[in-house]
Amino acid sequence: MKTAEEILARIKTALPEAGVEVAPNPSPSAQHSLLLSPASAVAVASFLRDDAELSLDYCSNATGVDWPGKEITEKVKVAKLVEGVETLVEEAVKRVEPGYLEAVYHLYSVKHARREIAGPVVLRMRTGNRTDQVTLPSLTPVWRSVEFQEREIFDLFGIVFAGHPDLRRILMWDEYEDHPMRKDYIDPDDYEYEPTPHDEVLKRAEMRKTEATV
């Protein structure tokens, strides 16, 4: 299989202005992926599908990932006066890394199934944040196999795929307003389809009422 770096070099030769970089995977699998800029994602995806050497003509899987914001503590050296002498002192500085949503695609080549470029090749796209910048371009026009999978990502994570031919919920009902695979998702205390809640649901609802009054 060609490495992510080799595929990136091929993309850059054909589409020098495309926003693409290698996203390293530090795990033992070392399955590095290609992080695509949303602005050039469809052009890059089309190239990967149509390039004779790569022919990544099949997307087997598309899924979503939720990356909430997190606080990071870093050690930096700052100049301070210590007993009248300017000295570099190490201090802990905290910063907040904003969260985002991610769409991940796994590509294969049916045409070259017995060759080293058969795949998988992993693509990633990231939203601007988790609230009001959650739109990414749909890759359904490139690989029709992701139509239902992008609908599932939209339903469960809240990524809006611009250009999708039929973007609507696929698991939850149309009126549902939340996204159950978000890491900050809270189970409801009651359910539209459960007019007589179970004891566990009632207990949880009472606990929430108690917490709200404290």
Which residues are 23's β-sheet partners? 33
CA angle 36, 21, 56 (to 5 degrees): 60
Check whether 206 has a pLDDT greater than 70. Answer: yes
What is the distance of C-alpha 34 from the center of its chain?
A: 12
Check whether 51 has a pLDDT greater than 90. Answer: yes
**What's the CA gap between 130 and 99, in Å, rounded?**
6
**What's the CA gap between 21 and 30, in Å, rounded?**
16
Check whether 50 has a pLDDT greater than 60. Answer: yes
**What's the CA gap between 12 and 113, in Å, rounded?**
24
190 falls in which pLDDT band (50, 70, 90)? low
What does the pLDDT read at residue 117? 58
**What's the CA gap between 164 and 130, in Å, rounded?**
20
Q: Give the mean pLDDT of 155-169.
A: 97
**What's the CA gap between 147 and 183, in Å, rounded?**
24
What does the pLDDT read at residue 73? 86
**What's the CA gap between 146 and 64, in Å, rounded?**
12
What DSSP element (H or E) covers 103? strand 100-108
Cβ proximity of 54 and 117 under 8 Å: yes
Q: How far apart are the first and last CA of the chain?
A: 59
Check whether 189 has a pLDDT greater than 80. Answer: no
Burial of 197 (0-12, 13-18, 19+ CB in 10 A): middle
115 falls in which pLDDT band (50, 70, 90)? low
The single-letter DSSP state of residue 98 is P
6 falls in which pLDDT band (50, 70, 90)? very high
Between 198 and 155, the higher pLDDT residue: 155
Span 52-99, pLDDT tens digits: 999 999 999 999 999 999 888 888 888 887 777 888 888 888 888 899
What does the pLDDT read at residue 147? 97
25 falls in which pLDDT band (50, 70, 90)? confident
100 falls in which pLDDT band (50, 70, 90)? very high
The single-letter DSSP state of residue 203 is H
Please provide the DSSP assignment of 46-57 as one string: HHHHH-TTT---
Q: Which of 164, 166, 163, 160 is nearest to 128 (CA)?
A: 160
Average pLDDT of the chain, as a whole number: 88
